[in-house]
Amino acid sequence: MHIKSNDTVEVISGDDGGKRGRVLKIDRKAGRIVVEGINRVFKHVRKSQRNPQGGRLSKEAAIRLCKVALVCTACNAATRTGARRLPDGSKERFCKKCGAGIGQIAPPKKG
């Protein structure tokens, strides 16, 4: 799937289904993604100099990559993406619904 950091994605299924957020981190090897404001969990922390209060710290946990869809900037809908070559030889992502370009994947080929 053509998802990068700082893209806006929509959660397809699960407890947070239908919510949108910005991608913070991607682990392609494990197939997991961390999205801002999605899948919040509590981490229990002990009192320390860094955290003098202690208690419960709320943070985002990773979700599976297959449970999110990229949001197109042109049509503002969750969509599948494709890759196409442009006349100058560069490669870009595009929205399968409206056909708009979402961003460049690879620079133009030399030759």
Q: Which tens digit of pLDDT belongs to each residue from 39-57?
A: 999 999 999 998 899 999 9
Report the distance separating Cα 42 and Cα 32, nearest Å.
Answer: 19
State phi, psi for 82 to the nearest 5 degrees: -135, 175
Rounded to two decimals, what is the model's pTM?
Answer: 0.83
Contact 3, 11 (CB under 8 A): no
Single-letter code of the amino acid located at 14: G
- Residues 47-68 have a mean pLDDT of 93
Contact at 8 Å (CB) between 22 and 36? yes
Domains of the chain: 1-71 (2.30.30.30), 79-111 (no CATH)
